[in-house]
């Protein structure tokens, strides 16, 4: 495996489809190594991907479900045992689901997958990030967060109502960006920078997969939204572009944007860290 010519290493969750796949291909084309944490397989007909796997540039770690703690714990331990460092962590896995559902831990699934799990992954891979060159974390957020009207921890964990895209999905992305903001000063002690980034409107519809989007959004996505390469470029710029020296910020259309409910940022961080400490972590020294 000729890794020597590829000095930078990125870890990407949800790397096998949509924006994650486009980002994986972009980084590989720019001579990065990629650590992929996926539930689904990469396309077998993608020659770039298959060559990267064969050469060891792309290393794949599979999990049954990122929101299943037993499966997540197993795959993170595997990454920690086999990888030496991570220069950039892209917490990208997610999705908009069509109905209200709950994780095995009993929390609303959007919130578990897109708010709590990215925190767990960051905490578990923190030592690898500290050993990296760029020490950067990018959390994939969404402009949908601006539509959140009610925001409490209770409504995040067990919503009373469900709306496609603008309900639990939007609230979970807002919670992600809020804990990103709140944790930044603590990560700065280890020279780690963290940002949340809106990848913009992308056509991420997949054949045979049920969409959790409202019908009108699905139609607009098919007709007018950009391909996933657009979102990949936004995440790439969020990591390495003009804001690369800033931390804790939310980037919307490439610019720093304010968040709603900023007074709740500390509470969200406290809650997700509590979940990590009491439900996931086997090593109390890993927590904040």
What would the pLDDT profile of 180-206 be if each residue is shown by its tens digit?
999 999 999 999 999 999 998 755 544
> Which pLDDT score is estimated for 205?
46
- Beta bridge partners, 58, equal 34
> Which pLDDT score is estimated for 1?
44
- Beta bridge partners, 137, equal 89, 194
Mean pLDDT in residue range 79-86: 98
> Which pLDDT score is estimated for 165?
78
Domain residue spans of the chain: 3-281
With a cut of 90, say whether residue 164 has pLDDT above it.
no
Secondary-structure class of domain 3-281 per CATH:
alpha beta
Mean pLDDT in residue range 85-103: 93
pLDDT tens sequence across 15-63? 999 899 999 999 999 999 999 999 999 999 999 999 999 999 999 999 9
With a cut of 90, say whether residue 211 has pLDDT above it.
no
pLDDT tens sequence across 106-159? 999 999 999 999 999 999 999 999 999 999 999 999 998 998 998 999 999 999
> Which pLDDT score is estimated for 210?
56
> Which pLDDT score is estimated for 207?
54
pLDDT tens sequence across 234-276? 999 999 999 999 999 999 999 999 999 999 999 999 999 999 9
């Amino acid at each position: 495996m000729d890794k020597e010519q590829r000095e930078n290493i990125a870890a990407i969750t949800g790397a096998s489809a949509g924006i994650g796949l486009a980002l994986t291909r972009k980084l590989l084309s720019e001579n990065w190594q990629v650590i992929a944490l996926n539930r689904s397989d990469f396309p077998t007909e993608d020659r770039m991907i298959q060559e990267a796997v064969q050469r060891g540039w792309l290393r794949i770690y599979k999990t049954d479900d990122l929101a299943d703690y037993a499966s997540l714990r197993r795959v993170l331990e595997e990454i920690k045992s086999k990888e030496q460092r991570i220069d950039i962590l892209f917490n990208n896995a997610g999705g908009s689901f069509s109905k209200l559902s709950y994780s095995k831990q009993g929390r609303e699934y959007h919130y578990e997958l897109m708010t709590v799990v990215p925190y767990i992954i960051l905490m578990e891979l923190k030592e690898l990030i500290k050993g990296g060159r760029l020490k950067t974390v990018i959390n994939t957020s969404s402009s949908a967060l601006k539509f959140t009207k009610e925001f409490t921890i209770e409504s995040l964990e067990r919503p009373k109502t469900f709306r496609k895209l603008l309900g639990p999905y939007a609230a979970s992305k807002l919670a992600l960006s809020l804990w990103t903001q709140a944790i930044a000063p603590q990560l700065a002690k280890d020279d780690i920078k963290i940002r949340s980034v809106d990848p913009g409107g992308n056509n991420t519809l997949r054949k045979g997969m049920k969409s959790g989007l409202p019908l009108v959004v699905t139609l607009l996505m098919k007709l007018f939204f950009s391909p996933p390469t657009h979102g990949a470029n936004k995440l790439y710029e969020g990591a390495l572009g003009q804001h690369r020296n800033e931390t804790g910020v939310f980037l919307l259309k490439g610019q720093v944007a304010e968040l709603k409910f900023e007074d709740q940022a500390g509470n969200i961080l406290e809650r997700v860290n509590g979940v990590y400490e009491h439900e996931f972590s086997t090593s109390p020294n890993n927590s904040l």
